[in-house]
Amino acid sequence: MCRETDNMEKQTIEYSEKQNAIIQSAEKLFSQTGFDGTSVRDIAQEAGVNVAMISYYFGSKDKLMEAVFEQKTTQMRLKIENLLLNNNITHLEKVNILIDEYVDKFVDQQEFHKIMMREQILERSTPVAALILELKKRNLQSIKKLIQEGQKSGEFKKHIDIMLMMSTLVGTVSQVVVSKRFYCEVNHLQNLTEPEYLKYIRKKLSVHLKNLFKITLTNDI
Amino acid sequence: MCRETDNMEKQTIEYSEKQNAIIQSAEKLFSQTGFDGTSVRDIAQEAGVNVAMISYYFGSKDKLMEAVFEQKTTQMRLKIENLLLNNNITHLEKVNILIDEYVDKFVDQQEFHKIMMREQILERSTPVAALILELKKRNLQSIKKLIQEGQKSGEFKKHIDIMLMMSTLVGTVSQVVVSKRFYCEVNHLQNLTEPEYLKYIRKKLSVHLKNLFKITLTNDI
Amino acid sequence: MCRETDNMEKQTIEYSEKQNAIIQSAEKLFSQTGFDGTSVRDIAQEAGVNVAMISYYFGSKDKLMEAVFEQKTTQMRLKIENLLLNNNITHLEKVNILIDEYVDKFVDQQEFHKIMMREQILERSTPVAALILELKKRNLQSIKKLIQEGQKSGEFKKHIDIMLMMSTLVGTVSQVVVSKRFYCEVNHLQNLTEPEYLKYIRKKLSVHLKNLFKITLTNDI
Amino acid sequence: MCRETDNMEKQTIEYSEKQNAIIQSAEKLFSQTGFDGTSVRDIAQEAGVNVAMISYYFGSKDKLMEAVFEQKTTQMRLKIENLLLNNNITHLEKVNILIDEYVDKFVDQQEFHKIMMREQILERSTPVAALILELKKRNLQSIKKLIQEGQKSGEFKKHIDIMLMMSTLVGTVSQVVVSKRFYCEVNHLQNLTEPEYLKYIRKKLSVHLKNLFKITLTNDI
DNA sequence: CATGAATGAGTGTTCATTCAT
DNA sequence: TATGAATGAACACTCATTCAT
């Protein structure tokens, strides 16, 4: 465990305060207006730094994008891996924790996930696309292991298409997060404040997905 | 009903051959490289027309985007509505047809759906966003009606969150469509041709989602 | 002869008025401040056109440079070749005409020759460098032929290093052209107008070089 | 004469090791890619010093250029002057030594001479241009004196345009040095190593120019 | 004395759009 | 109706230089 933590901190590149401000601004603007729709001037202004600093620190706009992803994906991967590692609970409980983790991740870090979605849509073979693919592969491995252990213990059914279940998990959360305005209008939630809405949606998604997974994975009704 | 149809057909603007070529090219390129990543020159070249034609016909690049959406969303809405209208079958069978319709729609018209996803992610209040919102609202209404009829007939359970189910439906399909490369690599499907892959994924999604909906909507195991 | 002229005109690319204005301005500014020292904005201003026109017409700054060279070098090569082709005079007279041609060429087209000199100094392997090399090779061939014919006829000495003689011809003219200010100050010619100075220097160079070539090529004292 | 020497040595500024490294790197890069084509970062990297050092030590990029010239031109001037001063030989022999000196100077210090040529081409009134002009004037004076003494002694002809002869000397050597690639290709010398080529060209130039000067300056055939 | 961080001005180029024809 | 020519604004990026330390 300690070793893990050490590695984690070693892998994470240390950025200066300004560099972090740039990364954060980039993350925000890329999610709001897309990569091509965001100019380095916008990012610089948002971060309160000179335009030239972006090239100075990150080399290019593309490299900045990579830095944003490098940082985030590393964090995510490690979180999922640690999550599944050391719990003394049933496999279904682990699945439920995983679901809550994904829900929280998408809800809390909407901005980054929007960038990630858009990058996947574009299907271009960039370093960023490679990072996403790698992240998804490793996460799938972790979850596959969890499901297989549950199957061995008899807790889960055989013949589960883990990938489709993951698509349902990730897809449902993405869809709800992205359709915020639609969701609010239809369900008459326009009066909710942002935190209230987030709390509400988090709970809804959690219950919905846990139920979906339970009836899919186990034999219980 | 007749009135509805009439209105609908009135809404559909008639375009010249060149205009249609432009719309089609725009749809393709917007999905491949995004709105900002696509230049009007690219679109003009792809469509085999002069650059100035785009401003000439559609007024601006933004307006062209709207035209693309106007056309597509109208088509989609009509298809869903007609689908649910005249069938002499059980409500679950209607749901299954609906699922297949969504799967086919996303798989066959990936390009347009990618643009739509990206536009939703951006969350900007554009005419295009309004069109998407309107489409989703009307589709939701149609489906709500279907589910409620199924509940009245005792075929479906009470207390179904239709919106979350729709998010699962749309989200899962989107996710799979978008993660094509990931899906292929993990499932060792790299040797499949494009049509083979599409057929495969269509079937997988259809079975998976029908199963999900069945156990969610009905009391049957 | 007619065929030659036809070819010549076929080879020469036809440029629009604006394109020619750009080429001319580029030639001037490149010679005055160098390629790197000249911005496309400077060229555009000098030519009285929009900055974007340069990329629009020539693709890039580099390509503009190539266009300048393409045009000039073609003209030069053809002139030299035609010069040596059809004259009914002695070989020494031909050499003298050649000398005058070089002197005139360098004096009249100082600006372009300055660019050419600088490009040679840089020794970079650009398309422009290739054009210069090609021009020099073809000119050398023409002159070699002339000298060899003179040697066959007994008019010229054997064992003449044509290349060194050409270096002396070109080098001397270049040197004088480039050292204008030095030349004027030392010879107290500051009061001469530009045309007066050019006339003066042309005569001086012509006599000097013809003398040098005569005593080098022939056996006469 | 002593005073002269004293002044000269006073003029020579003493530079630190780092400063010399910068000057040397600047000389190299300016010759290879031109003044505008060379960035201070390139120079700093080549010299292994911090970028800011250049402004710190020399004030600006322009001032660095001046420093490069100040150093070199002083060295050159002194060499020529000393050369002509103390020899107990004929005037023609002195001229021959002078020719070899120029040939060696241009061949050995090609890089610096390329910068000098380029600066002359630009014709701008910079401190650097003034330094070059001053150098050329003083060298011309020295040589004028030599020729005039030769004329007095009857060794040389009357009516010699020293300046044109100097232009031929400097121009020919420059031309050959600059046209290295052309020279090698045409004379099939591509297989020669760099030192072999330099040796070859030095000899060629020496013989060619000494011959040219002999027949020009003296009455001998 | 020395330097990493930072900057504003400037680079070449591309953009969506307009306009004369 | 249709378009080649043209444009100003914006783009990502590099520059020589400055400054706090």
D42-51: pLDDT as tens digits:
999 999 998 8
Please count the other Cβ atoms lying within 10 Å of the Cβ belonging to residue B25: 22
Task: Write the DSSP symbol of residue A153.
Answer: T
Separate counts of helices (H) and strands (E) for chain C: 11, 0
Residue B44 and residue B49: Cα distance in Å, rounded? 5
DSSP state of C14: P
* Residue D219 pLDDT exceeds 60: yes
Domain ranges of chain D: 2-217
**Mean pLDDT, range B112-139, rounded to an integer:** 88
Report the top-level CATH class of B60-217. mainly alpha
Q: Which residues of B touch A175 (CB under 8 A)?
A: 167-168, 170-171, 174
DSSP assignments along chain B, one per residue: -HHHHHHHHHHS----HHHHHHHHHHHHHHHHH-TTTS-HHHHHHHHTS-HHHHHHHHSSHHHHHHHHHHHHHHHHHHHHHHHHHS--S-HHHHHHHHHHHHHHHHHHTHHHHHHHHHHHHHT---HHHHHHHHHHHHHHHHHHHHHHHHHHTTSS-SS--HHHHHHHHHHHHHHHHHTHHHHHHHTT-TTS-HHHHHHHHHHHHHHHHHHHHHHHHSS--
Query: What whole-number percentage of chain B has pLDDT above 90?
Result: 55
C-alpha–C-alpha distance, residues D61 and C35, integer Å:
18
Looking at the predicted structure, is the pLDDT value of residue D5 above 60?
Answer: no
Does pLDDT of A132 surpass 60?
A: yes
State the DSSP code for A157. Answer: -
pLDDT computed for residue B123 by the predictor: 79
Q: Which residue is nearest to nucleotide E11 (CA to C1')?
A: C39
Q: Is the CB of A14 under 7 A from strand E?
A: no
Straight-line distance from the first to the last Cα atom of chain B, in angstroms, rounded to the nearest whole number? 38
Residue tagged 């240390």 (tokens): A14
Please answer whether residues A71 and A48 qualify as being in contact, where contact means their C-beta atoms are separated by less than 8 angstroms. Answer: no
Structure tokens at A108: 């809390």
- Chains touching B, CB cut-off 8 Å, 3+ pairs: A
Average pLDDT, integer, range B39-45: 93
Write the Ramachandran bin of A31: left for phi over 0, alpha for psi from -120 to 50, otherwise beta.
alpha
More confident of the two residues A12 and A80: A80
Query: Tokens at residue A30, please?
Result: 């890329």
Position B54 pLDDT exceeds 70 = yes
Question: How far off is chain B from A169, nearest CA to CA, in Å?
Answer: 8
Task: Summarize pLDDT for C7-27 with one digit per residue, the tens.
Answer: 443 346 678 888 999 999 999
Contacts of D136 (CB under 8 A, 6+ apart): C179, C182
- Residues of C 43-72 whose CB lies less than 7 Å from any atom of strand E: 51-52, 54-56, 59-62
Please give the pLDDT value at position D10: 39
Residues of D with Cβ-Cβ distance to C215 under 8 angstroms: 215-216
Fold of A62-217: Tetracycline Repressor; domain 2 (1.10.357)
Of the pLDDT bands very low, low, confident and very high (cuts 50, 70, 90), residue A220 is low
Q: What is the reported pLDDT for D173?
A: 96
A31 alpha-carbon distance from chain centroid: 13
Nucleotide nearest to A37 (CA to C1'): F11
Kindly report which listed range (A59-63, A139-143, B85-89) carries the lowest average pLDDT score: B85-89
Q: What is the mean pLDDT of residues A118-146?
A: 89
At residue B109, does pLDDT exceed 90?
Answer: no
- pLDDT score of D65: 92
Cα–Cα distance, C30 to C117 (Å, whole number) = 11
CA distance B45 to B39: 10
Residues D129-158: pLDDT tens digits?
Answer: 998 999 999 999 989 999 999 999 999 999
pLDDT at D4: 40
Tally of CA atoms within 13 A in the half-sphere of B68 that contains its CB: 30
**Does C168 contact D164 at a Cβ distance shorter than 8 Å?**
no
Contact D133, C182 (CB under 8 A): yes
In the structure, what pLDDT confidence band is assigned to residue D9 with cuts at 50, 70 and 90? very low
Chains D and C in direct contact, meaning 3 or more beta-carbon pairs closer than 8 angstroms: yes
pLDDT at position B148: 93
**D2-217 has CATH 3.40.50.800 classification:** no
Flag whether pLDDT at A82 surpasses 90: no
Determine, for residues C178 and D117 on separate chains, whether the beta-carbon distance falls below 8 Å: yes
Question: In degrees rounded to 5, what are phi and psi of residue C205?
Answer: -65, -40
CA at B161, C1' at E17: how many angstroms apart?
Answer: 48
Per-residue pLDDT tens over the stretch D170-180: 999 999 999 98
Stretch B69-79: mean pLDDT: 87
Separation between the CA of B61 and the C1’ of E17 (whole angstroms): 10
Class of domain C65-217: mainly alpha
Provide the mean pLDDT of chain A. 87
DSSP symbol at C195: H
* Cβ contacts of C171 on chain D, cutoff 8 Å: 168, 170-176
Contact C221/D221, CB-based, under 8 Å?
Answer: yes
Q: Assign D13 a pLDDT band (cuts: 50, 70, 90).
A: low
Q: Among residues of chain B, what percentage have pLDDT more than 70? A: 92
Chain C's closest residue to D38, CA to CA, is: C36
Q: Average pLDDT in the C58-81 region?
A: 89
pLDDT tens for C83-134 read: 877 668 889 999 999 999 999 999 988 888 988 998 898 888 889 999 999 9
Q: Which nucleotide is nearest to D55 (CA to C1')?
A: F17
pLDDT at residue D220, rounded to an integer? 61
What is the overall mean pLDDT for chain D?
Answer: 87
pLDDT digits (tens, 9 = 90+) for C160-214: 999 999 999 999 999 999 998 899 999 899 899 989 999 999 999 999 999 999 9
Split at pLDDT 50, 70, 90, the class of C78 is confident
Does the C-beta of D15 come within 7 A of strand E?
no
Residue C5 has pLDDT above 50, yes or no: no
Q: What is the pLDDT of residue A211?
A: 93
Closest CA to D146 of D208, D79, D217, D75: D217
Query: Residue for token digits 């007095």?
Result: D152
CB atoms A122 and B33 under 8 Å: yes
Spatial contact of D115 and D68, defined as CB atoms under 8 Å apart = yes
Mean pLDDT of B32-44: 91
Residue D162 with chain C: CB contacts under 8 Å: none
Question: pLDDT tens digit string along C202-216?
Answer: 999 999 999 999 999
Q: Which residue minimizes Cα–C1' distance to E17?
A: B55
Chain B nearest C-alpha distance from A74 (Å):
18
Which of D163, D181, D182 is the closest to C187 by Cβ?
A: D163
Residue of A172, A208, A217 to mutate for B, most B C-beta atoms under 10 A: A172
CB contact under 8 A, B164 and A172: yes
pLDDT for the residue D124: 78
pLDDT attached to residue A122: 82
DSSP D125: -
Of the pLDDT bands very low, low, confident and very high (cuts 50, 70, 90), residue A12 is low
Please give the pLDDT value at position D203: 95
Token code pair at residue B215: 């156990």
User: Where does the pLDDT of residue A57 fall: very low under 50, low under 70, confident under 90, or very high at 90 and above?
Assistant: very high
User: Residue C141 is which amino acid?
Assistant: Q
pLDDT at residue C66 tops 90: yes
CA of A197 to C1' of E18 (A): 47
Chain A residues with CB-CB distance to B187 below 8 A: 163
